[in-house]
């Protein structure tokens, strides 16, 4: 591994640093997003809505507070506490809170997609630098050029391209996975919060 790093030249340094930063983002986001699914939102929503339908407000709030570290219970608690508000106001509250939690989940993903985009470009830069190095060696040696004289530049050209793609391809897959999970979670929040909104505002015009 060290052999390839040294042969890749100075461009390998930012590629390696980018890969380390990207790995840190992936691990951190993986933990955050996977943690969301420790709460069974279907079971929680069903239990809480049953309490709300029977007017057991304190029990519903207590259930929400017991699971207050998760987005849906926090949204439910806010809506139940403001249940006397109009439908439009409750809808805005739930929408605002939902957007807030989605933004928290998307945190640092912009940095990850930047790494995905820039890593191949750094690899291509290394390729150009390697080819320049090879042609300079060729120019210097003239008709006495040998394969070993060109090897250093060719090594750099190929290694940096491969390194950039080795970072970008798996990280892009992780990025798409995170985005898909966040979108699905966002739809779930909308669905479950709509159920509570319908129950709280049943019979209201606005």
In a domain, 2, yes or no: no
pTM: 0.83
Domain-located, residue 99: yes
Q: Which domain holds residue 110?
A: 10-200
Residue 114 lies inside a defined structural domain of this protein = yes
In-domain check, residue 5 = no
Structure tokens at 12: 């390998």
Q: Is residue 171 part of a domain?
A: yes
Contact 14, 122 (CB under 8 A): yes
**Which residue is listed with tokens 């159920």?**
195
Total domains in the fold of the chain: 1
Residue 4 falls within a domain, yes or no? no
Looking from the CA of 205 toward its CB, the CA atoms found within 13 Å total: 0
Could you read off the pLDDT tens digit of each residue along the chain, which spans 206 residues? 555 565 666 788 899 999 999 999 999 999 999 998 889 999 999 999 999 999 899 999 999 999 988 999 999 999 999 988 888 899 999 999 999 999 999 999 999 999 999 999 998 888 887 777 766 765 666 666 655 655 555 666 788 888 899 999 999 999 999 999 999 999 999 999 999 999 988 755 54
């Amino acid at each position: 591994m060290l052999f390839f790093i040294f042969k890749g030249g100075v461009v390998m340094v930012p590629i390696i640093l980018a890969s380390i930063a990207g790995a840190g983002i992936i691990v951190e986001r993986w933990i955050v997003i996977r943690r969301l699914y420790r709460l069974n939102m279907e079971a929680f929503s069903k239990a809480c809505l049953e309490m709300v339908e029977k007017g057991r407000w304190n029990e519903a709030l207590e259930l929400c507070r017991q699971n207050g570290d998760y987005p849906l219970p926090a949204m439910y608690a806010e809506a139940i506490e403001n249940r006397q508000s109009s439908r439009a106001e409750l809808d805005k509250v739930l929408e605002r809170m939902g957007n807030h939690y989605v933004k928290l989940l998307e945190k640092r993903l912009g940095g990850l997609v930047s790494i995905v985009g820039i890593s191949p470009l750094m690899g291509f830069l290394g390729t150009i630098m390697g080819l320049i190095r090879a042609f300079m060696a060729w120019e210097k040696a003239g008709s006495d050029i040998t394969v070993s004289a060109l090897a250093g530049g060719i090594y750099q050209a190929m290694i940096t391209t491969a390194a950039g793609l080795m970072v970008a391809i798996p990280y892009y897959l992780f990025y798409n996975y995170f985005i898909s999970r966040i979108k699905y979670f966002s739809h779930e929040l909308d669905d479950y919060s709509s159920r509570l909104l319908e129950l709280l505002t049943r019979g209201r015009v606005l």
